[in-house]
Structure 1
Amino acid sequence: MIKGISHITFVVRDLKRTSDLFKEVLDAEEVYDSGDESHSLYPEKFFLIGGQWIAVMQAEEIVKRTYHHVAFEVNVADFEMYKDRIEKAGLEIRPSRTRISGEGMSIYFYDYDHNLFELHAGTLQERLKSYQKGEA
């Protein structure tokens, strides 16, 4: 039986730059740094963001941008704060997709290595309810 998400892994070109991004924009807590003793495929760091384990590995080859992403739950009241942080970090904000009433608001942004993040105000239950209603 699946209990939930164990961890999410991102592959980046510059581990320090992404570490700074996670800490400054997403309030991440760094809990591990492989340093010179990599136990995995690449040098890596582990973070906790909102209680979720996030792994970041450094590699030279990065693919182009896709819609693959991770979404972190935030409060609507904090949107402007996060938007300011993202802009100050020099990151690209992607336009949000079309939404129906009740889905919740989102900010999408790319990190330095084409990973897409979403900051989302809403729950799965709210989204399913809005989809059942077929609201426009």
Structure 2
Amino acid sequence: MIQGLNYLASGASDLDRTKKLLVELLGAFEVIPSCPKSDPQEIILRIGDVWLKIVKSDDVSSKATILISFNVHPSDFDWYLEEINKRDLQVANISENTEKKVRSIRFCDYDGNRFELNTNPMPSALLQSDN
């Protein structure tokens, strides 16, 4: 029986740039510090309760099929939107449901990996998702 999510993995053409983005924008922190024994071709981060393994890849598809969605507090949403725009990230969709007071933004990182920031907590956000 599945007990829960172990970790998510994604590729990146530039590990340092991707790490900087995830740390500054999403509050990630490195779980396993870089050291001689660790693989310099990957980093292990945590964002909230989610473990994320980023692997160096020179062949990162611009059509990533995974979507990583995080719940954010409604009062923080505008800050995230500004930060995403400052970094010139590709915004795929911004949606607002004023009746339910729900906002979300979908965007891609530098390698085309898809992220969503949503003010609607699970599981209701999943039930309303188009993916």
Pick the TM interval, shorter chain.
Answer: 0.7 to 0.9
Kindly provide the CA deviation profile for residues 84-116 of structure 1, in whole angstroms up to 9, marking residues without a partner as x. 111122211112469796493211111000001
Task: Tell me which structure has the larger Cα radius of gyration.
Answer: 1
Kindly provide the CA deviation profile for residues 47-73 of structure 1, in whole angstroms up to 9, marking residues without a partner as x. 110121111011110112255311011
- Aligned pair in 2 of structure 1 residues 129, 44: CA closer, same or farther (>3 Å)? closer
Name structure 1 gaps, 5 residues minimum: 132-136
Higher mean alpha-carbon deviation, 77-86 vs 92-101, is at 92-101
- Aligned pair in 2 of structure 1 residues 32, 119: CA closer, same or farther (>3 Å)? same
- Aligned pair in 2 of structure 1 residues 96, 68: CA closer, same or farther (>3 Å)? farther
Identity of matched residues, %: 29
- Aligned pair in 2 of structure 1 residues 34, 72: CA closer, same or farther (>3 Å)? same
Question: Which residue does the alignment assign to 1:17?
Answer: 17
User: Which amino acid in 1 is paired with 2:32?
Assistant: Y
Matched, 1:47 2:45: yes
Higher mean alpha-carbon deviation, 99-108 vs 83-92, is at 99-108
Shift of residue 129 of structure 1? 7.8
Native 8 Å contact 2:96 2:102 kept in 1:
no
Structure 1 residue matching 2:31: 3-state secondary structure: strand
TM-score, reference length from structure 2: 0.82
Question: Which residue does the alignment assign to 1:5?
Answer: 5
Native 8 Å contact 1:62 1:113 kept in 2:
yes
Question: Which residue does the alignment assign to 1:134?
Answer: none
Matched, 1:112 2:110: yes
- Aligned pair in 2 of structure 1 residues 115, 130: CA closer, same or farther (>3 Å)? closer
User: Which amino acid in 2 is paired with 1:117?
Assistant: F
Name structure 2 gaps, 5 residues minimum: none
Distance 1:20 1:120 in 2: 21
Distance 1:2 1:56 in 2: 23
Shift of residue 124 of structure 1? 3.0
